[in-house]
Amino acid sequence: MRQTAEQLAPSVGVTTACQVLDVPRSSLYRARQPQAAAKPRPKPSRALSEPERAEVRAVLNSERFQDCPPRQVYATLLDEQTYLCHWRTMYRILKEHHEVNERRNQLQHPSYAKPELVASGPNQLWSWDITKLRGPAKWHYYYLYVILDVFSRYVVGWLLAEQESAKLAKVLIVETCAKQHICRDELTLHADRGGPMKAKTVGQLLLDLGITKSHSRPHVPDDNPYSEAHFKTLKYQPDFPGRFGSFQEALSWARRFFPWYNQQFYHSSLGLLTPASVHYGQAGVILDQRQRVLQAAYEAHPERFVQGQPQQPTLPTEVWINQPQLKTICLPNQEEQVLILETVFPASPASLLGQPGAQTGSRVPVGQAQRSLDPGEHPAKLGPTLGTGKSDRTFRH
């Protein structure tokens, strides 16, 4: 803009050109003046000489002080009745040689593979986690174990206990797989890196059941998003108390919440369908019925639908944990470009676009879609063999 104002100034004047182009006149006049060469800064007489600066740098980088910051070196030398220069001058000397950085040994976290999982139907990918429910006193918690189907967001199993235990998690996984009729090599179970999740007993159980095990990366809270989102839905309910007065009170609240969540909560990520309707194959019937209602409303009053005929939100065909980026490649002897997915881990690799990367063909037994949406409750008392010698109060669904 300043160059344009300079070109326009001879014809209309500097003031008018600057006002039209909104350019300060001072900037225009300053640009016309020749830039004076910067004068070198004179060296103060009290500055350290080059041999002295080299000595300071040698001391800072010596084997004795190579891991110490300049302030520590400064204080140590003063206690030894030695003064080289102020610690700020030490920083300036190091900066001149690009040596101002972390001087201590730092822990370098290794690079972990990102879990990339996909589900195209129910009972292909589960996510589970444990959350704390505050008890009647400070530091008193009840532990809620929840297994969630990632595709349908349906809570397939939950357990409430007074302790966090791998043995309790093992019992919950076994009973949930039996209740959902899970066959070998068709399910991936994803979790974070908590103690029960990484326990050897749980890992061996998954191996025996033919279930693929997946874990989040260390120090990465976003690798288990569906369980975390579910816990937020649970704890942000209007009737969720700040504390539970007893184990039975917490159990009573959980018994009310999970049937409501599975059968009555309209999930925004599922096209406003309930998790139970998606999990048990009723989504298509419900969406068709809703579309007929919308079509009838549109035919009765088309002027009220300014964006045209209303369309019902569709159910996602794939649900991902850490969906990989699409890459465009050109295959040999082909003119068209093809979109492919990155490698999917630990489920089977995804190939061309449109083919899911996890195991497909999750089997639903005949008549399961017509079953009651509430599979029923399974109360149990876990004895001394599953605890620490005392009777543990638990409840699992």
Predicted confidence at residue 100, as pLDDT, reads 87
Integer Rg of the chain from CA: 34
Q: Supply 17's token pair.
A: 């050109």
Residue 261 in tokens? 């969540």
Question: Could you report the per-residue pLDDT of 1-46, keeping only the tens digit for each?
Answer: 778 888 888 888 888 888 888 888 888 888 888 777 777 888 888 8
pLDDT recorded at residue 44? 87
Q: How far apart are CA 255 and CA 130, in angstroms?
A: 17
* Residue ranges, the chain, pLDDT below 70: 103-104, 326-397
Beta-bridged to residue 136, according to DSSP, are: none
Cα–Cα distance, 158 to 139 (Å, whole number): 23
Domains for the chain: give ranges and CATH numbers.
2-32 (no CATH), 50-96 (no CATH), 117-276+376-396 (3.30.420.10)
Q: Report residue 285: phi and psi, to 5°.
A: -65, -45
Q: What is the pLDDT of residue 332?
A: 58
CA distance 88 to 163: 54
Which pairs count as long-range contacts for 42-51, CB under 8 Å and 24+ apart, including other chains? 48/85, 48/89
